[in-house]
Structure 1
């Protein structure tokens, strides 16, 4: 005898409907935003991860590989190939720190610093594409940072 499946919960929590999945909404939004970045970054001959590295360096020109990885939430094994490609492209250089030979400092080259002016249009174009008010933008960032901290275990005690 066949039985009918139980009624889904009245709230999306526990639901197996695709539209109720926050993870899918995040995935779809991430793909859409990254796709919107692609032509803008292609014009700069950059990939999205390379652009993120440069954002950090434009903010803080000299940074250790460890601190750069922490800022981008990337492991050294992921970061090293990115840095090699950016160095080969003449946008940055890696130097052993004189005060600590075990540590490598990342610095922009003149070409890397100059690229900042050309990249200034990117955040404006992305902001226009997102179509959020300044308040919505701030709220979205706040919620995404909270979600990241909670899921990674940095935002609350693990049970």
Structure 2
């Protein structure tokens, strides 16, 4: 479950003394309901998605990456739309801050700690509320989150 991935990312960051972690977010079917239109981007958020992304945007220990197959002109529209909502992505489909090292080759797959993607099991109808509750209960910027068995399956 996504809350376990978040828990693991924060725990790893503290153990390795990292300042932040990287979270990648798909748009369609994850943040907003798809509208299947070729001319207008969808703007209807899943419950708790907007509030959750606003919380995450305010954290100094999370770098947000937009992870999308949208066309470049749509990405511009999305970035503007999200910015108007107080949601800020640092990168789009890349993470130039993590380069190739002995432990990983990142030229064809960028590095992230947590992936929000409906095709990988993220359930926007249920998971956003759990994440929102988890983050609201954790007021500090970078710390090990307490174990939350109610959220972990």
Same fold (TM over 0.5): no
TM-score (norm 1): 0.27
Greater relative CO (CA pairs within 8 A, separation 6+): 2
Q: Highest Rg: 1 or 2?
A: 1
